[in-house]
């Protein structure tokens, strides 16, 4: 029996996440359910896309991922099931899947069409669960939907590059639990524009000219530990997901502060990389 994962903006206070799990267990009592996150900011498509993109590949092939973000059915917000990288994704066609599909082409996409058989005002519970359990039993996508070829794109997915390729203008797409800010600039994209040139990274009034591979790269280990003052230092890294990230070493939003709190950075702010001439 495959795993079913849940990624939602339901939070922990309300009954929604528990009800979805109960519905799944009612159909498949021996299934495994894993919570990826129920703390996505309400209706935040980009935050959800970043989260699921970086979580799904850690699960075994055949895992089914329910994504419950902005899932109310409307003429402009259809429901889809996607087979991609030997995983299944069930969500609204609102851009969530476009971040993953930027790197990997889907094997199959269907627009779910079982709504006439289900009376619902809670589609994650009543529709997505039905689809997930159908797939878990070995059912095909064509039974629950009609094949389509495209998914809705998401805004701010690709950074802007000027004509002479001397500047990248990126966007902050995610702020993590440590207050680190993650941009939409990926390492491969950065290096394809850089071509060994030196650079300056600017976010508000803060500027950096080095991108580190690890947070601890800013530490001078030649200095005795008791004489270091490294906590709270700002830096830029390519994070574990290979996105350009502005961070504060050992940040804590309630004590030493974070990149978000200390620099006043928030989602959808711009981060600029300016390359020098060779």
Is residue 236 situated within a structural domain?
A: yes
pLDDT of residue 119: 73
**DSSP secondary structure string, 253-277?**
TTTTB-HHHHHT--TT-EEEEEEPP
Tens place of pLDDT for every residue, the chain, 278 residues?
Answer: 899 999 999 999 999 999 999 999 999 999 999 999 999 999 999 999 999 999 999 999 999 999 999 999 988 899 999 999 999 999 999 999 998 898 899 999 999 998 877 777 899 999 999 999 999 999 999 999 999 998 998 877 889 999 999 999 999 999 999 999 999 999 999 999 999 899 999 999 999 999 998 888 887 777 777 666 666 688 999 999 999 999 988 887 777 789 899 899 999 999 999 998 86
Is residue 64 situated within a structural domain?
A: yes
Is residue 155 situated within a structural domain?
A: no
Residues 205 and 253 in one domain: yes
Is residue 154 situated within a structural domain?
A: no
Residues 126 and 248 in one domain: no
- For 173, residues 6+ apart whose C-beta sits below 8 A from its C-beta are 46, 47, 50, 156, 182, 183, 184, 267, 268
Is residue 152 situated within a structural domain?
A: no
Backbone angles phi, psi at 42, to 5 degrees: -50, 125
Per-residue pLDDT tens digits for 98-117: 988 988 999 999 999 988 77
CATH number assigned to the domain comprising residue 165: 2.40.30.90
Token pair of 162 as six digits: 């000027």
Residues 112 and 193 in one domain: no
Per-residue pLDDT tens digits for 175-213: 999 999 999 999 999 999 999 899 999 999 999 999 998
- Cα separation, 139 vs 127, in Å, equals 15
The domain boundary residue, chosen from 122, 147, 172: 147
pLDDT of residue 229: 67
Backbone angles phi, psi at 244, to 5 degrees: -70, 125
- Pick from 24, 50, 254, 16: nearest CA to 172: 50
pLDDT of residue 131: 96
pLDDT of residue 128: 96
The domain boundary residue, chosen from 125, 147, 169: 147
Number of residues in the chain: 278
pLDDT of residue 226: 67
Backbone angles phi, psi at 70, to 5 degrees: 50, 55
pLDDT of residue 20: 96
**CB hemisphere CA count around 9 (13 angstroms):** 15
Asked if residue 1 lies in contact with residue 136, where contact means CB atoms within 8 angstroms, the answer is yes
∠ CA 178-158-111, rounded to 5°:
95
Number of domains, the chain: 2
pLDDT of residue 237: 96
CATH number assigned to the domain comprising residue 119: 3.40.50.10790
Is residue 55 situated within a structural domain?
A: yes
pLDDT of residue 231: 67
- Pick from 19, 151, 23, 33: nearest CA to 81: 151
Question: Is 248 in a helix, a strand, or coil?
Answer: strand
Residues 92 and 178 in one domain: no
Is residue 249 situated within a structural domain?
A: yes
Which range of residues forms the domain containing residue 124?
Answer: 3-147
pLDDT of residue 230: 64
């Amino acid at each position: 029996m495959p795993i079913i994962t849940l990624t939602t903006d339901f939070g922990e206070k309300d009954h929604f996440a528990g009800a979805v799990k109960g519905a799944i267990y009612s159909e498949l009592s021996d299934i495994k359910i894993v919570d990826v996150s129920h703390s996505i900011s309400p209706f935040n498509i980009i935050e959800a896309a970043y989260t699921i993109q970086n979580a799904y590949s850690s699960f075994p092939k055949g895992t089914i991922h329910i994504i419950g973000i902005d899932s109310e059915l409307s003429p402009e917000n259809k429901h889809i099931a996607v087979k991609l990288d030997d995983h299944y994704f069930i969500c609204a066609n609102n851009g969530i899947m476009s971040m993953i599909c930027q790197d990997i082409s889907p094997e199959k996409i269907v627009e779910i069409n079982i709504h006439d058989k289900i009376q619902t005002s809670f589609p994650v519970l009543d529709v997505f669960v039905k689809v997930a359990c159908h797939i878990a039993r070995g059912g095909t996508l064509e039974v629950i939907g009609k094949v389509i070829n495209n998914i809705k794109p998401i805004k701010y997915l690709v950074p802007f590059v000027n004509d002479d390729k001397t500047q990248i203008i990126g966007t902050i797409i995610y702020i993590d639990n440590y207050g680190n800010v993650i941009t939409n600039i990926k390492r491969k994209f950065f290096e394809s524009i850089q071509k060994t040139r030196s650079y300056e990274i600017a976010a508000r009034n803060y500027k950096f000219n080095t991108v580190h591979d690890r947070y601890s790269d800013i530490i001078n280990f030649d200095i005795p530990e008791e004489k270091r003052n490294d906590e709270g230092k700002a830096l830029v890294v390519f994070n574990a997901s290979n996105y350009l990230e502005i961070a504060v070493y050992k940040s804590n939003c309630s004590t030493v502060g974070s990149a978000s709190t200390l620099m006043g950075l928030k989602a959808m702010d711009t981060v600029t990389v300016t390359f020098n001439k060779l």
